[in-house]
Amino acid sequence: MTGNAAVIATRGLVKRFGAVRAVDGIDLDVREGDVYGFLGANGSGKTTTVRMLLGLVLPTAGTVQLLGGPMPKAARRVLPRVGALIEGPAAYGHLSGRANLALLDAAGPGGSRRTRRARVGTVLEQVGLAGVGRRPVKAYSLGMRQRLGLAGALLRRPELLILDEPTNGLDPQGIHEIRDLLLELHRSGTTVFLSSHLLAEVEQLCSRVGVLDRGRLVLQDELARLTAPTGATVVETPDPQRVRAALDGRVLSLDGTRAVVRGADPAEVNAALVAAGVPVTGLALQRPSLEEVVLAAAGTSADRVDAGEGRARR
């Protein structure tokens, strides 16, 4: 990808835990303006990678550049421009969400005490927690804690937002609200790096994806390119065998009431079938789903944890 500055760049990034390579030589390329989906099964090395990006874990080998600065050397200069939510939010359970955010804001560099109350109120409203009042965080549900963690990541209006499973614990309505919030932040200029094992979440949010499998980056590309039309047309019909008879040699597969036919012009396919008297109830260009792309690249299911791997990889 060209044209936009790199906000995350890793080269040959490796992390070993004993004899196990949790992250195995990955080259991430995340550009300004991306909504980047970092996909992988639970235990594939996603969280370890994210922690290395932020300087929380030192790599065994390779380099990390974050917003143009080498990590962790440039952490003091770079991290105030980054919002992050990793492995669930930390908080003082006896304090309210508002009090926790005020403490977090006070601990960070550059935050004005005079505008702190307004900043905290703004991010609580953004994540749907404006009405929780003085309720202590220990009384929050998992979804509310996740929202609070996201609010903390947004306090400084970050240029780059790095999120590890941000919708964990949220109900469908909450997932929808967080998705809308992230898209709104992106429209306002924030680059989003989203680590997840949820394909549907990434497919609806992201413009680019990277797929991690057993610590290796097996795929990295524009989502639109990965799910582009294949050059075939999907025909819905109550009589698929007649499609085979009418378009002999062009039928790639039959499955129930569905036929896949070679040809990227549905109108042409429809005209040929209608001329042959074949009933057609639906037509669409064939596109691979993100799930099919990921399975082809990684050979793993979207939510599998390999035996033993969940303990070795983070």
Domain parsing of the chain, residue ranges? 6-226+291-312, 232-286
Percentage of the residues of the chain whose pLDDT score is greater than 90: 52
Q: Phi/psi at 29 (nearest 5 deg)? A: -140, 100
Does the 6-226+291-312 domain belong in CATH 3.90.1150.10?
no
At 97, the pLDDT band (50, 70, 90 cuts) reads confident
Specify the pLDDT at position 36.
Answer: 97
305 sits in which H/E element:
none
* pLDDT greater than 60 at residue 179: yes
For range 18-39, the mean pLDDT: 94
Q: Which long-range contacts (CB under 8 A, 24 or more apart) does 183-190 make?
A: 183/35, 185/154, 185/161, 186/33, 186/35, 189/33, 189/159, 190/158, 190/159, 190/160, 190/161
CA dist 22 and 61 (Å) reads: 12
| Beta bridge partners of residue 163, listed in sequence order | 85, 194
What CATH topology corresponds to 232-286? Alpha-Beta Plaits (3.30.70)
Q: Pull the structure tokens for residue 134.
A: 């003085």
The pLDDT of 7-26, averaged and rounded, is: 95
Backbone angles phi, psi at 202, to 5 degrees: -70, -40
CB atoms < 10 A from the CB of 200, how many? 13
pLDDT reported for residue 88: 67
Q: Residue 108: pLDDT above 80?
A: no
Cis peptide before 72 (omega within 30 of 0): yes
Q: Which of 214, 181, 207 is nearest to 193 (CA)?
A: 207
Residue 169 pLDDT class (50, 70, 90 cuts): confident
Kindly write down the DSSP assignment for every residue of 91-129, as one continuous string. --TTSBHHHHHHHHHHHSTT--STTHHHHHHHHHHHTT-
CA distance 85 to 207: 20
pLDDT of 251: 94
Q: How confident is the model at residue 118 (pLDDT cuts 50, 70, 90)?
A: confident
Q: How far apart are CA 275 and CA 228, in angstroms?
A: 29
In this prediction, residue 103 has a pLDDT band, given cuts at 50, 70 and 90, of: confident
What gap in Å lies between CA 55 and CA 61, rounded to an integer? Answer: 13
In this structure, of 45-59, 171-185, 221-235, the range with the lowest mean pLDDT score is 171-185
- Which region among 7-11, 155-159, 188-192 has the lowest average model confidence (pLDDT)? 155-159
Confidence of residue 109 (pLDDT cuts 50, 70, 90): low
The tens digit of pLDDT for each residue in 33-73 reads 999 999 988 888 999 999 999 999 999 999 999 999 999 99
Query: How far, in Å, CA of 250 to CA of 248, rounded?
Result: 6
Instruction: Show the beta-strand stretches assigned E in 54-207.
Output: 61-66, 69-71, 82-85, 160-164, 191-196
- The model's confidence at residue 259, banded by pLDDT at 50, 70 and 90, is very high
pLDDT at position 301 over 80: no
pLDDT at 314: 47
Residue 192's DSSP bridge partners are 35, 161
| Residue 27: CA count within 13 A, CB half-sphere | 5
pTM above 0.85, yes or no: no
* pLDDT > 70 fraction of the chain, expressed in percent and rounded: 91
Using alpha carbons, select from 313, 250, 310 the residue that is nearest to residue 286. 250
pLDDT of 156 over the 90 cut: no
Backbone phi, psi, residue 246, to 5° = -75, -35
Instruction: Calculate the average pLDDT of the chain.
Output: 87
Q: What is the mean pLDDT of residues 302-312?
A: 38
Structure-block tokens of residue 170: 């949220």
Mean pLDDT for 131-143 is 85
For position 86, what pLDDT does the model report? 84
Q: What is the mean pLDDT of residues 75-79?
A: 92
pLDDT band at 153 (very low <50, low <70, confident <90, very high): confident
Q: For tokens 């965080």, what's the residue?
A: 137
Q: What does the pLDDT read at residue 267?
A: 94
Question: What distances in angstroms separate CA 53 from CA 36, 112, 131, 226, 314, one per listed residue?
Answer: 14, 27, 34, 26, 14
Higher pLDDT, 108 or 309: 108
Checking if the pLDDT of 2 tops 80, the result is no
- Of the listed ranges 130-144, 179-193, 265-279, the least confidently predicted one is 130-144
